[in-house]
Amino acid sequence: MKVTFETPKDDEEDEIIVRCRRIDSNLMSILQSFGTEKKTLNGYIDNNIALLSYDDVYYFEAVENHVYAYCKSDVYEVKYKLYELEENCRSMDFIRCSKSLIVNLSKIKYLSPMFNGRLEALLKNDEKVIISRQYVPELRRKLGI
């Protein structure tokens, strides 16, 4: 399969063209995900509600029956369970990295090996998160390393 990306001109809108010999169920599920993927979520901070883009979230963390979205400088509570966010983010650049953490792969600056097969990820906002050894193989697969 060949994949081609082109940047449209400023006055053109984004467009997806699909050329295939036959349409199968895998292709249909990919095409359906373009229109149904939720790109924003509500974040709660200081009795205010903010509309957050998944692209702005560095990681999600579950702490004492609450789930928080960590952005560049702010932390928001979100009204989802971690497994629900994992399902919502499946087609995006997020990956589960421990029982209580989901990280945005596009926000990782670099990875460092640690003891017992774990990895430490330094994020672009200079925070560090630990990737548990049980989740390292999936991370390697997604990153192609």
pTM given for the model: 0.72
How far is residue 26's CA from residue 3's CA, in Å, rounded to a whole number?
A: 16
User: Mind listing the pLDDT tens digit for each residue in 103-127?
Assistant: 999 999 999 999 888 999 999 999 9
Other Cβ atoms closer than 10 A to 70: 21
**% of the chain at pLDDT higher than 90:** 53
Q: Beta partners for 33? A: none
* Token pair listed for 33: 């995900």
